[in-house]
Amino acid sequence: MATSGNGSAAVPAEVDVAVVGAGFSGLYMLYRLRELGFSAMAFDEAGDVGGTWYWNRYPGARCDIPTTDYAYSFDPRLEKDWTWSEKYATQPEILAYLRYVAGCYDLRRDIRFGTRIAAASWDEASRRWRLRTNHGGEVSCRYYIMASGCLSLPKTTDIPGVDRYRGEVYLTGRWPHEEVDFSGKRVAVVGTGSSGIQCIPVIAREAARLTVFQRTPNFSVPAHNGLPPPDRTAQLVADRDGYREAARWSRGGMPMELTDVSGLTASEDLRRQRFEDAWQAGELFAILGVFNDQGINPVSNELVAEMIREKIREIVSDPDTAEALCPKDHPFGTKRPCLDTSYFETFNLPHVRLVDLRRTPIVAVTDAGIDTVEESLEFDVIVFATGFDAMTGPLVSVAVTGAGGLTLKDKWEHGPATYLGLMTAGFPNFFMITGPQSPSVLSNMAVSIEQHVDWVADCLQRLRTEDLDRIEPTPLAEAGWVQHSQDCADITLYPRANSWYMGANVPGKPRVFLPYIGGVDAYRRACDEVAEQDFVGFRLDGPAASRCNDGVIRRLQPDVAIVLEFMASLGLPPMETMTVADARAFAAATAATLPPGPEVGEIADAVLPGPAGDLEYRLYRPPSSGPHPLIAYFHGGGWVLGSQDSDDPFCRDLCLRTGAAVISVNYRHAPDDRFPAAADDAFAAVQWIAANAAGLGGIPGQLTVAGWSAGASLAAITCQLARDAGGPDIARQLLLTPVTDCDLGRPSYSGNGEGFVLTAALMRWFWDHYADEAERAQPMASPLRGTLAGLPPAVVVTAEFDPLRDEGEAYAEALGAAGVPVRHIRARGHVHTSLTMVDVVISGAPVRAEMAEALGSFRSAPIQI
Ligand code: N01
């Protein structure tokens, strides 16, 4: 084999697989590749194995996942032979562990240390990557794997004057191997993230004076370090395989019971008790899971945040310092919280001082210390704990050039785009271990690393077995995953923080949520499904054949998927197999379990005269003083179910978002009163509301007619009847996932007819109860078949996974063709019922906001009658 030297050891000219990095992921990758008989070589700039644990040698450096879980699980022998001494091991102990693992499998033999891959380019002709090392050596490989870590490239210090300083300077992420002596010295620490919070108490023990420069206070909870957690250890001893499997299928990569306690509804006692338990547990996932809604609901989040602030105020004696240490600019958890040992207590020491950079920013580093806007401070040592160019930094710091000459840096100029965080389109045979848009830093890295390495190893093995030698994700699959990853983040509070998760800590970096927050379990399922479905979304090529099962692996909104999974887990009988009475009782009971929706100004129940007796209605008034525009609203329920109660949260939401008074009118239901009773009632109700607008607190001439599902059908029909009758004046119509036609043969009926709550079978059941076959084609039942010219401007909302999608789209299109102003909102990833699930399906909120905005945009439109 031809080789090119790199100083200490030879670098082979050709390997099957080149791996960058010899930390947790690189070591296991190398192990798996060897096991499968691939020739493989790993490269690391460091002098030995360890990755992050090689570089981050600062005092106090420890893991923040308990050692019972922060370890390899692939070989039970490792677990038997290695014993951790602490719950959160120190950096030297973790480094010793990784050295031990490397020794067990003689991995160093295939690692070139002190060697950085400086550039990599894809050669389509040979279907190989050509890598260049910092020593000028070249390596050709079929597959190129970056196992370079998420937090391995320290951020360039962006404070002016750093080069001028004449004292000792240290960077936590590049700590020297020799012990640093702080005794008797005046020390500055800049940065209060995990690294700062870990090293500050330890440095304080030695330094003569310690000054901490804090730009953003961080949430931290006591680690309560000690022996490895006895409860977890006992579970491992009792059933090691079961424990590890539970970790693999958990939300965060550690076995953990998820709570169903909501911060919004829990009693004060329960809130406090759950918080105290988590505080005492000293585990990240415990404090991140005090309430099931703290990651998505600001009110619930603030409860936890404030309880932590209370602890800080209790611990820190000086009230001003305590207040400065209290984080207030981001929701709890949206920046990575820290686990500390005596961090806040350290500020009670007489020689420790906090400088709040929000009040007195740094002007520059001087030759003797640091100048703030208020004072000049001199130091013997400055420690920068200023963080990393996280996740994408280490990947784009290598000049990676893919097929067609595009560099990774250019491709990701506006943010990373990956398929599953594993690969990126345009870069064939290039894999990332824990890349952006995979759970990585939001999970127990040990579990996520093993999952990625196993997926890649299995993939390479399958390619070899099938005589394939090139794999690349398709643009469609990648765009779908990027969207899904973004959708997952968007329903949480995470994007609100200026965190390194968002790339916000590095000036000029695109602001994009980098990791995948859907959970280790959901993520693993997606990866497994991709492989099982013949690598859906990947293009596979070999000397003899090519194939591509193109597609998107996750198209539902993540919270909609959770609701569907939950409903499926209940194993309920389909509604169409129930009696009407049972179906009504079931629908009412389900509605009663949902959150109540937002507070409005006033709610009043009353009746209005209908053609066959009084009709009940509920009036929702906005908090602002009136008069208000009016919305006459008709509930959903297939003409069979529901009442003015059933859509209550949605009506409250509609009232607040539009600033209109909503009048939700009940109407006669089938089969007791069949077609056209409901339509007659709806028209009569709108006539009465228009006639009594002023008395209802409404602005005459500002009446919108709205509805959801069958109620939207009634709204559409009412607008047609009003036009034909020459009144009343209707300013706008809002049709949310409407029934518009009796033809159940449209593609959305077959595509979305099962598994998305409203089924094709249930829709048939509704129609059968409501109208005879012969009546259904009348415009009073199928408004799509009516004349549409001259109708009021319409906002039509359709949901992607709704059997009624196509008839809603057809109605929007037909209205437009008839000259009616239309705003058609397509709710991506939603089902028929999800947009009305206020405070349950968070991803519905932006759609409802758009809906309200669209209604507002028609406010000045001329009335069409
Ligand atoms: O970095 P950080 P880190 N002037 O980015 C401040 C993992 N980790 O190395 O927030 C003044 O969190 C910056 O301020 P601000 C863990 O995932 C784990 O501490 O940008 N200050 C912030 O306070 C962690 O989240 C462990 O306003 C400046 C700090 O520096 C991740 O690594 C241990 C500044 C940087 O905090 C990163 O942690 C250590 C400036 N110009 C790390 N620039 C474990 O426990 C930045 N800052 C396993």
Q: Mutate which of 67, 151, 194 to test ligand 1's pocket (most atoms within 8 Å of Cβ)? A: 194
Strand partners, 41: 18
357 lines ligand 1 (CB under 6 A): yes
198 lines ligand 1 (CB under 6 A): yes
Report the separation in Å between the CA atom of 386 and the middle of ligand 1, taken as the mean of its atom positions. 5
For residue 176, what are the CA distances in angstroms to 148, 192, 203, 552? 20, 20, 15, 47
Output the residue whose Cα is nearest ligand 1's atom 34.
386
pLDDT, tens digit (0-9, with 9 covering 90-100), for 160-206: 999 999 999 999 999 999 999 999 999 999 999 999 999 999 999 99
In which element (H, E) is residue 245 found? helix 240-248
Output the residue whose Cα is nearest ligand 1's atom 5.
387
Report the separation in Å between the CA atom of 192 and the middle of ligand 1, taken as the mean of its atom positions. 6
Q: What is the pLDDT of residue 507?
A: 94
Pure H helices in 598-693 = 648-658, 677-691
DSSP state letters, 729-798: ---EEEEES----S-TTSHHHHHSSSSSSS-HHHHHHHHHHH--HHHHTSTTT-GGGS--TTPPPEEEEE
59 lines ligand 1 (CB under 6 A): no
766 lines ligand 1 (CB under 6 A): no
190 lines ligand 1 (CB under 6 A): yes
Question: Which pair of tokens denotes residue 365?
Answer: 């580093």
Report the separation in Å between the CA atom of 422 and the middle of ligand 1, taken as the mean of its atom positions. 26
Evaluate whether 141 touches 18 at the Cβ level (below 8 Å): yes
Q: Where do we find the tokens 């000792």?
A: 168
385 lines ligand 1 (CB under 6 A): yes
Q: Where do we find the tokens 């686990």?
A: 339
Q: What is the pLDDT of residue 12?
A: 85
216 lines ligand 1 (CB under 6 A): yes
Q: Mutate which of 54, 156, 215, 221 to test ligand 1's pocket (most atoms within 8 Å of Cβ)? A: 215
Residue 60 class from Cβ within 10 Å (0-12 exposed, 13-18 middle, 19+ buried)?
buried
Atom of ligand 1 nearest to the CA of 216: 27
Give the distance, in angstroms, between the CA of residue 653 and the centroid of all CA atoms in the same chain.
Answer: 24
Q: What is the pLDDT of residue 267?
A: 97
Closest listed residue to residue 757, CA positions, set 635, 859, 638? 638
pTM here is 0.95
- Name the pairing type of β-strands 352-356 and 209-214: parallel
Report the separation in Å between the CA atom of 382 and the middle of ligand 1, taken as the mean of its atom positions. 15
Distance CA 632, CA 662 (A): 6
Q: Mutate which of 69, 505, 514 to test ligand 1's pocket (most atoms within 8 Å of Cβ)? A: 505
DSSP state letters, 673-721: S-TTHHHHHHHHHHHHHHHTTTTTTEEEEEEEEEEETHHHHHHHHHHHH
Q: What is the pLDDT of residue 859?
A: 67
HSE-up of residue 367 (Cα within 13 Å, Cβ side): 0
205 lines ligand 1 (CB under 6 A): no
441 lines ligand 1 (CB under 6 A): yes
DSSP state of 318: S
Angle between helices 520-532 and 445-465 (to 10 degrees): 0
196 lines ligand 1 (CB under 6 A): yes
Residue 314 class from Cβ within 10 Å (0-12 exposed, 13-18 middle, 19+ buried)?
exposed
Distance CA 403, CA 803 (A): 41
Distance CA 81, CA 75 (A): 11
Cis peptide before 671 (omega within 30 of 0): yes
Report the separation in Å between the CA atom of 852 and the middle of ligand 1, taken as the mean of its atom positions. 41
Closest listed residue to residue 765, CA positions, set 579, 543, 504? 579
386 lines ligand 1 (CB under 6 A): yes
For residue 99, what are the CA distances in angstroms to 48, 76, 94, 153? 8, 17, 9, 22
Q: Which residues of 8-19 are buried (b: 16+ CB within 10 A; e: fewer)?
A: ebebbebbbbbb
Residue 309 class from Cβ within 10 Å (0-12 exposed, 13-18 middle, 19+ buried)?
buried
389 lines ligand 1 (CB under 6 A): no
Q: Where do we find the tokens 């094709």?
A: 760
Q: What is the pLDDT of residue 158?
A: 86
Q: Mutate which of 159, 189, 386, 448 to test ligand 1's pocket (most atoms within 8 Å of Cβ)? A: 386
Distance CA 578, CA 556 (A): 28
334 lines ligand 1 (CB under 6 A): no
All residue ranges of the chain with pLDDT < 70 are 1-9, 859-865
> In degrees rounded to 5, what are phi and psi of residue 420?
65, 15
In which element (H, E) is residue 484 found? helix 475-490
Q: What is the pLDDT of residue 8?
A: 53
Question: Which pair of tokens denotes residue 68?
Answer: 């019972």
Atom of ligand 1 nearest to the CA of 197: 19
Question: Which pair of tokens denotes residue 660?
Answer: 């209109």
